[in-house]
Amino acid sequence: MKPAIWLALVAATLVLPWLPGLPLFWVSLACQIGISAIIAVGLVVLTGVAGMTSFAQASLMGISAYTTALITTKLGISPWLGLPAAMAVTLVVAFAIGSITLRLSGHYLALGTIAWSVSLYYLYANLDLVGRNDGLTGIPPLSLFGQKLIDIRFSAQIIGLSLIGGMIASLHLLDSRWGRAMRSLRGGAVAAASVGVDLGRARMLAFVFAALMAALAGWLFAHMQRVVNPTSFGLVAGIQYLLMAVMGGAAHLPGALLGATAVVLVNNSLQDWLPFLFGAGVSAETIVFGVALVLILQAAPAGLWPVIAPRLSRSHRVAETALTVQTMPKLGAVALRASGLQRRFGGLVAVADLSFTLYQGELLGLIGPNGAGKSTSFNLLSGADHPDAGRVELAGQDVTGCTPQMMARRGLARSFQHARLVPSLSVIENVALGAHLRGHASPLSAILRRDRDEEAHIYAEAARQLARCGLADLADHNATSLALGQQRIVEIARALAAGPSVLLLDEPAAGLRHGEKQSLAALLRQLRDEGMAILLVEHDMEFVMSLADNLVVMDFGTVIATGKPSDVRRNPAVIEAYLGGVA
């Protein structure tokens, strides 16, 4: 968004609460909405963007609120110093929780947060230090220039500014190299790992960011309410925050505000009306919220925001120059060597014995009939799977057992047989994801926008690789709207954006039209001439025969022939493998 819009929002936040005649009750509702929206913004990053869920945001908020309440009431420290302290404590807790659960599938994190949230609730309610069920009272308000900011209209201003700050921070973070990494967690994790994205760090980043948002909200809550007790931080509160994010549209930042507004207002009017319907003492809003949560998931899984607002395409500043071209290893140097690779699945020997050498500046084709073990070999070479016996060397180093991330760091890039693009990123953003390891900006520098130059170079590089692959005019399209053949080409562009010296391609020509195949062949020849080592697993014989310098032919998991295409074509073993022996 443009700076002018933000300035207008800041001005509105500062002025609106003081409008003459505005009922204070409205201001207090706005404060509730603002605090909730800050938490929901964190959940948008965690749930909507990174595809993980926490029911414990209220508990994290509680940790922060209790921290600042304790140090300001018991130690008499200024409430302003409570913020860094509360954030630091929440950060440590979130980091600890994250390192235990983030490696597991998403639902373990969610289940873990349910258990923690219950556990923490009972801890607050039974610990003398935090006043058990009564909580802590007499928390000092914020003060400025010796003036205590007790008036709720001051609170509204501070909460509003915090919310704007939180949204700007989220937007900046999402529009950065780590933002792309976090987006890839939803449906594109395998692809991101193949270009070297540290998925664990990306998950931790999303989780910690959401926790810090909750911490900010908790600090505001403690000094505005000036009382904290366990009920505000229980599981039901945690579920309500998630409801806000889901209702507004978990993948959209404005949805957080929309969802928070809807939930707080509905909650408020329910509290007025439900006692008439059900009798006092029945907390019937839980029924309404529970049913609403399920109905929204069924009827509008993307939430309300996409229903009322069009999707805005993100624009990117593109620098004049792309990233510096990486120096290729010497022509003819050994790029990739497999020796005696073997892989068994139970009793099935998928790869029995695979050995070959790929040199810089060589285009090597790996072919074989169906079931020959090509895909398994490809996985062994790219680090997606590990051999039971044998060795893989990359540029002379033993990389057997390395993860795809480690392979990417050592200059290997790959494409997938079934294209794996990140669904929530545009075509050019998917390609920019490929350059992840070539950027260095940290999440913090992204939030502060100190990464703009680097980002512009990354986008210039992405644009260059797209143009090279002939897809320049599709740059801003949604990645998954492309034809399957084109999606494979985007994968090649993404692989190239990583600046690799070894390129593994899994059936890149499948699904391409004749003309597209020819331009792909031309591109691959050009890359080879620049010194890149290319391994091509391909079904299309005409394509691979005309293109490859050398061929490795597999059948039943072993190499049955190697050599130039013209020799292999006449090899009796190859002919038998493809056409079948005479019975």
Answer for which of 1, 291, 467, 483 binds another protein (CB under 8 A) is 291
The residue count of the chain comes to: 583
Can you give the C-alpha Rg of the chain in angstroms? 29
- Crossing angle for the helix pair 24-43 and 253-278, nearest 10 degrees? 120
What SS3 class is residue 318? coil
Nearer to another protein, 17 or 188 (CB): 188
Q: Taking the C-alpha atoms of 81, 87, 88 and 89 in order, what is their torsion angle to the nearest 10 degrees?
A: 110
204 binds another protein, rule: CB under 8 A: no
The answer to whether 489 and 471 are in contact (CB under 8 A) is: yes
| Alpha-carbon dihedral 94, 98, 101, 104, rounded to 10 degrees | 150
Query: Could you say whether residue 283 binds another protein (CB under 8 A)?
Result: yes
* Contact code string over 230-259 relative to another protein, x by CB under 8 A: ------x--x--xx--x-------------
The interface with another protein within residues 39-68 (CB under 8 A) comprises: 51-53, 55
**Site residue total, another protein (CB under 8 A):** 56
* Residue 570 binds another protein (CB under 8 A): no
At a CB cut-off of 8 Å and minimum separation 6, what does 426 contact?
313, 314, 475, 476, 477, 478, 479
Rounded to whole angstroms, how far apart are CA atoms 469 and 410? 23
Q: Are 91 and 211 in contact (CB under 8 A)?
A: yes
- The token duo for 525 is 């020849």
Q: E strands, 262-386, where?
A: 334-345, 348-359, 363-367
Which of 18, 25, 108, 345 binds another protein (CB under 8 A)? It is 108
If binding is defined by CB under 8 A, does position 266 make contact with another protein?
no
By beta-carbon proximity to another protein, the closer residue of 107 and 311 is 107
Is residue 101 involved in binding another protein (CB under 8 A)? Answer: yes
Q: What is the Cα–Cα distance from 232 to 63, expressed in whole angstroms? A: 11
Cα gap 120→533, rounded to integer Å:
55
Residue 433 in the binding site for another protein (CB under 8 A): no
Minimum separation from the CB atom of position 286 to another protein (A):
4
The b/e string for 362-375 (b: 16+ C-beta within 10 A; e otherwise) is bbbbbbbbeebbbb
What are the phi and psi torsion angles at 442 (to 5°)? Answer: -85, 165
Measured from the CB atom, the residue of 171 and 274 that comes closer to another protein is 274
Residue closer to another protein by CB (options 296, 323) is 296
| 8 A C-beta contact, residue 316 and residue 475 | no
User: Would you say 199 or 206 has its CB closer to another protein?
Assistant: 199
Nearer to another protein, 121 or 356 (CB): 121
CA-to-CA separations, 223 to 34, 72, 79, 219, 228, in angstroms, rounded: 14, 10, 7, 6, 9
Is residue 287 within the footprint of another protein (CB under 8 A)? yes
Structure tokens that stand for 339 in this block: 């020796």
Cβ contacts of 519 within 8 Å, gap of 6 or more: 470
Instruction: Single out the segment in contact with another protein by CB under 8 A; choices: 29-37, 180-188, 304-312, 574-582.
Output: 180-188
Question: Counting Cβ atoms within 10 Å, is residue 74 exposed (0-12), middle (13-18) or buried (19+)?
Answer: exposed
Smallest separation (angstroms) from another protein to the CB of 100: 5
Out of 16, 77, 91, 123, the only residue in the binding site for another protein (CB under 8 A) is 123
Examine residue 415 and tell whether it contacts another protein (CB under 8 A).
no
Q: Please report whether residue 135 would count as binding another protein according to CB under 8 A.
A: no
Q: Does 100 bind another protein (CB under 8 A)?
A: yes
Closest CA to 52 of 131, 9, 112, 3: 112
129 near another protein, rule: CB under 8 A:
no
In the bound complex, what is the minimum distance in angstroms from residue 380's beta carbon to another protein?
15
State yes or no: residue 186 binds another protein (CB under 8 A).
Answer: yes
Least distance in angstroms from the C-beta of 413 to another protein: 17
Q: Does 110 bind another protein (CB under 8 A)?
A: yes
Selected from 18, 25, 278, 578, the binder of another protein by CB under 8 A is 278
Taking the least distance from each CB to another protein, the nearer of 21 and 279 is 279
Single out the residue of 255, 404, 443, 499 in contact with another protein (rule: CB under 8 A): 404
Q: How far is the CB of 152 from another protein (least distance, A)?
A: 30
Tokens of 537: 């697993």
Cβ closest to another protein, residue 30 vs residue 264: 264
Is the CB of 294 or the CB of 444 nearer to another protein?
A: 294
- Give the Cα separation of 347 and 359 in Å (integer): 34
Report, in Å, the least distance between residue 120 CB and another protein: 8
Q: Are 183 and 422 in contact (CB under 8 A)?
A: yes
The stretch among 70-78, 113-121, 340-348, 358-366 that binds another protein (CB under 8 A) is 113-121
Nearer to another protein, 48 or 79 (CB): 48
Could you give the string, one character per residue 363-402, with x where binding to another protein holds by CB under 8 A and - elsewhere?
----------------------------------------
Cα gap 124→519, rounded to integer Å: 66
User: What residues numbered 330-349 form the site for another protein, per CB under 8 A?
Assistant: none
Ramachandran region of residue 557, left (φ > 0), alpha (ψ -120 to 50) or beta?
Answer: left
Options 24, 81, 282, 309; binder of another protein; rule CB under 8 A: 282
Judged by CB under 8 A, the stretch of 181-189, 474-482, 541-549, 573-581 that binds another protein is 181-189
Site membership for another protein, residue 293 (CB under 8 A)? yes
Determine, following the binding rule CB under 8 A, whether residue 488 of this chain makes contact with another protein. Answer: no
Cα–Cα dist 314/309, whole Å? 15
Q: Of 6, 91, 95, 187, which lies in the binding site for another protein, with binding defined by CB under 8 A?
A: 187
Helices (H), 51-78: 57-74
Q: Which is nearer to another protein, 169 or 199 (CB)?
A: 199
Three-state DSSP class for residue 87: helix
Considering the complex, what minimum distance in angstroms separates the CB of residue 308 from another protein?
A: 22
Residue pair 357/384 in contact by the 8 Å Cβ criterion:
no
CB atoms within 10 A of CB 575: 14
- Contacting residues toward another protein, per CB under 8 A: 51-53, 55, 100-101, 103-108, 110-112, 114-116, 118-120, 122-123, 126, 186-190, 193, 199, 236, 239, 242-243, 246, 278, 281-294, 297-298, 301, 404, 420
